[in-house]
Amino acid sequence: MHLLINALSSTNLSGRQVLCGHVAQCVAQMQGDDRITLLLHDQNKDVLDWLTESSGGTLNESIHVHKAPPLTAHWLGRSIYERLCLPRVIKQQQVDTCLSMSGGYVRGLPCPQYTLALNPWAMVPTGSRVLSDQIRAVLQRRMYRLAVRHADGIGYGSCHMQHLYEANAGAQARASAIVYPALNSSETDALDAWAEKGVARDPNTLLCVSLMARHKDIIALCQLLQLLRQQHQLPARLRLIGGWADEVYRQEVEQHIQRLNLQDAISIEGHVDREALHEAYASSRLYVLLSHSESFGIPSIEAQRVGTPVIAANGSAAPEVCGEGGRYVNPGDIQTAARFCAELMQDDDAWTSLSMAARKNSQRFEYRRTSPPLLAMLGMKTA
Question: How high is the pLDDT of residue 215?
Answer: 87
Q: Give yes or no for a contact between 276 and 323, defined as CB atoms under 8 angstroms apart.
A: no
**pLDDT given at position 128:** 65
What pLDDT, on the 0 to 100 scale, is given for residue 382?
62
Residues 322-326: contacts with CB within 8 Å, 24+ apart? Answer: 322/297, 322/358, 322/361, 323/357, 323/361, 323/364, 324/357, 324/360, 324/361, 325/354, 325/355, 325/357, 325/358, 325/359, 325/360, 325/361, 325/362, 326/300, 326/354, 326/358
Residue 311: DSSP 8-state: E
Q: Residue 181: what pLDDT?
A: 96
In degrees, rounded to 5, the angle at the alpha carbon of residue 322 between the alpha carbons of residues 307 and 198 is 5
pLDDT tens, 67-107? 999 999 999 999 999 999 999 999 999 999 999 999 999 99
Taking the C-alpha atoms of 131, 293, 23 and 209 in order, what is their torsion angle to the nearest 10 degrees? 100
Q: Which sign, positive or negative, has the C-alpha torsion 301, 303, 305, 308?
A: negative
Q: Are the beta carbons of 281 and 306 closer than 8 angstroms?
A: yes
Q: Say whether domain 185-362 belongs to CATH 3.40.50.2000.
A: yes
Helix ranges, the chain (H): 13-29, 47-54, 75-84, 86-93, 131-150, 159-169, 185-197, 218-230, 247-259, 274-283, 298-305, 318-322, 334-346, 348-362, 367-370, 372-377
Please state the domain extents for the chain.
Answer: 2-182+366-377, 185-362
**Fold match between domain 2-182+366-377 and domain 185-362:** yes
Fold classification of 2-182+366-377 is Rossmann fold (3.40.50)
pLDDT block averages, 10 residues each, the chain of length 383 = 95 88 90 92 87 79 93 94 96 96 94 95 75 87 95 96 95 96 94 94 97 92 98 98 92 97 97 96 97 91 98 94 97 96 98 98 96 94 62
Residue 361 confidence (pLDDT):
98
Rounded distance between C-alpha atoms, residue 253 and residue 135, angstroms? 26
Per-residue model confidence (pLDDT) at position 230: 97
